[in-house]
Amino acid sequence: MWAKLNAKHKEQLDGGETPDRNEEYFLYQTLIGVWPLEGESCDKLVERLQVYLVKATREAMVHTRWTRPNQPHEEALQRFVARILSPAAEDFLREFRPFQREISYYGMVNSLSQMVLKIVAPGVPDFYQGSELWDLRLVDPDNRAPVDFERRIASLRQLVQDEAKNPAALIRSLVEQWHDGRIKLFLLQKAIRFRRENASLLQEGDFLPLETRGECRQNVVCFIRRQNGQQILVAVPRWLSRIASSTDHGKPDWHNTEVLLPEKSSHRWQSILCGHEVTIHENVRTQSEGSLGIADLFAHFPVALFCSVV
């Protein structure tokens, strides 16, 4: 569809169209990933994409390369980028924007999932400077832009103040206004602080994958870290678009999906992120200690990080 809408913006060079099908597909993928969640001038976005596309196609070494640049081809690619993001391509942008908005929600959940897994899984978490909020920068030179540390400091201070006043209202605000990036900064702050305060558990504790059951069992990853009676439970969604509800802004319906807990698991669990508690369901069908409903774990936040309550 997009290729048909943008066919008129291509150029004929060396007996073929520019961009070719692979270059055009790659451009659309990139555009989905880099499309700004908040305001950014279209001129700036065009310039960033043009520089990146030249770099990427040179490294692909099909029509151009670093050692032998094909200037006519590169310039035609740059003109194509400018044309499809101009007011003259409103038919394309009208089709592109709704799809991008839907995909961006799943991208947000994937980003939060990767962050919490990185922090609590075995190993040492590492974060690229500036990625504390949504990081839609491309590779160099795009990712060499200065980091706005003042914004991050101010956001952290505001998060602490808002949580002290009304934790539940803050969580609702973060989830509803996820585009502004505070939800990612909040998760990073909470999980890193927990890791620092429980260093032995997360550096040396056992790692135990958990079994899930139910209609959406393939769409969630769960595990426990435990040491000396202390336990944390981690659950993150995967392949979320497959189970998204068409009537609730893309949010999933987890149906009867549950995670089975091993013997000697705590019966009560408290969210490190939201503060609410969940209690296990007795499960007479299995040899496990019980189970927790996935819908309960994700009731207030897109990812789940719970600690056992003695």
**Domain-ending residue, one of 85, 100, 127:** 85
Same domain membership, residue 304 and residue 164: yes
pLDDT average, residue stretch 268-297 = 83
Same domain membership, residue 148 and residue 78: no
Q: Is residue 105 part of a domain?
A: no
Same domain membership, residue 217 and residue 295: yes
Same domain membership, residue 71 and residue 192: no
Q: Is residue 132 part of a domain?
A: no
Instruction: Tell me the backbone φ, ψ of residue 292, rounded to 5 degrees.
Output: -125, 135
pLDDT at 283: 57
Q: Is residue 207 part of a domain?
A: yes
pLDDT average, residue stretch 157-181 = 96
pTM of the model as a whole: 0.90
Q: How confident is the model at residue 247 (pLDDT cuts 50, 70, 90)?
A: very low
Q: What is the DSSP string of 84-145?
A: HTSGGGHHHHHHHHHHHHHHHHHHHHHHHHHHHHHHHSSS-----TTTTS-----STTGGGS
Instruction: State the CATH number of the domain containing residue 163.
Output: 2.60.40.1180
Q: Cα separation of 246 and 32, whole Å?
A: 21
Assess contact for 112 and 185: CB atoms under 8 A.
no
Q: How confident is the model at residue 125 (pLDDT cuts 50, 70, 90)?
A: confident
Q: Mean pLDDT over all residues of the chain?
A: 91
DSSP state of 266: -
Instruction: State the CATH number of the domain containing residue 24.
Output: 1.10.10.470
Same domain membership, residue 184 and residue 259: yes
pLDDT at 282: 66
State the residue range of the domain holding 200: 142-309
Instruction: Report whether pLDDT(299) > 90.
Output: yes
List of E strands, the chain: 11-13, 16-18, 206-209, 212-213, 220-227, 230-237, 258-261, 268-271, 277-279, 290-293, 304-309
Q: Is residue 97 part of a domain?
A: no
Number of structural domains found in the chain: 2
pLDDT at 123: 84
- pLDDT tens digits for 182-205? 999 999 999 999 999 999 999 999
Same domain membership, residue 62 and residue 147: no
pLDDT at 144: 86
Q: Is residue 168 part of a domain?
A: yes
Token pair in block for residue 310:
């003695």
Q: How far apart are the first and last CA of the chain?
A: 57
- pLDDT tens digits for 17-26? 999 999 999 9
Q: Is residue 99 part of a domain?
A: no
